[in-house]
Amino acid sequence: MNQDVNADERDAKPGAPALEKGLDLLEALAAEPGGINQKSLAARVGRSVGEIFRMLGVLERRGYVARDPKTGEYRLTLRLFQLGTQHPPTRRLQQAALPITNPFEMGSNGLAEAAARIAGDKDYQAQFRAAFDRDVNADDMVRAIADYERTLFSFDSPFDRFVAGDAGAISEPAKRGWELFNTKARCNRCHALTDNQRDATLFMDNDFHNIGIGILRHRVGPLAQQAEREVAQGHLTGIDTAAITSELSVLGRYLITRTDKDVASFKTPGLRNVLITGPYFHDGSQETLWDVMDHYNKGDGLNDPWLDEDIEPLALTEPEIDDVVAFLAALTSAPYKAAGDQEYARQLALSKTTRPQRDTTRAFAPKPKQPPRPPL
pLDDT in tens, 265-281: 999 999 999 999 999 99
Domain boundary residue, one of 41, 76, 111: 76
- Residue 371 forms part of a structural domain: no
- Which among 20-34, 216-230, 323-337 has the top mean pLDDT? 323-337
**pLDDT recorded at residue 237:** 64
- Residue 311 forms part of a structural domain: yes
Q: Where are the beta strands (DSSP E) in the chain?
A: 65-67, 74-76, 208-209, 266-267
Domain boundary residue, one of 76, 98, 125: 76
Residue 88 confidence class, pLDDT cut points 50, 70, 90: very low
Task: Count other Cβ atoms within 10 Å, centred on residue 332.
Answer: 26
- Residue 350 forms part of a structural domain: yes
**pLDDT recorded at residue 83:** 32
CATH number, domain containing residue 349: 1.10.760.10
pTM of the full structure: 0.71
**pLDDT recorded at residue 11:** 35
Q: Could you tell me if 123 and 162 lie in one domain?
A: no
Domain boundary residue, one of 263, 278, 301: 263
Which conformational region is residue 83 in: left (phi greater than 0), alpha (psi within -120 to 50 degrees), or beta? alpha
Q: Could you tell me if 243 and 200 lie in one domain?
A: no
Q: Could you tell me if 300 and 167 lie in one domain?
A: yes
Q: Could you tell me if 65 and 102 lie in one domain?
A: no
**pLDDT recorded at residue 77:** 58
CATH number, domain containing residue 48: 1.10.10.10
Task: Count other Cβ atoms within 10 Å, centred on residue 278.
Answer: 17
Q: Could you tell me if 272 and 347 lie in one domain?
A: yes
| Number of domains observed in the structure of the chain | 4
- Residue 83 forms part of a structural domain: no
DSSP assignment, residue 87?
A: -
**Averaged pLDDT, 254-269:** 89
Distances (CA, A) of 275 to 157, 206, 287: 12, 21, 11
Q: Could you tell me if 109 and 202 lie in one domain?
A: no
- Residue 369 forms part of a structural domain: no
Q: Could you tell me if 30 and 117 lie in one domain?
A: no
Residue 25 confidence class, pLDDT cut points 50, 70, 90: confident
**Residue among 307, 294, 281 at smallest CA distance from 363:** 294
CA trace torsion 371, 285, 248, 84 (10° rounding):
-90
**pLDDT recorded at residue 359:** 96
* Whole-number Å distance between alpha carbons of 34 and 190: 30
Over the chain, what is the mean pLDDT?
82
Q: Could you tell me if 259 and 272 lie in one domain?
A: no
Bridge-based pairing of strands 208-209 and 74-76 is unpaired
Q: Could you tell me if 184 and 329 lie in one domain?
A: yes
Q: Could you tell me if 288 and 333 lie in one domain?
A: yes
Q: Could you tell me if 135 and 167 lie in one domain?
A: no
- Residue 81 forms part of a structural domain: no
Higher pLDDT pick, 194 / 175: 175
- Residue 58 forms part of a structural domain: yes
- Residue 235 forms part of a structural domain: yes
In which domain, by residue range, is 353 found?
158-208+268-363
| Size of the chain in residues | 376
Q: Could you tell me if 223 and 310 lie in one domain?
A: no
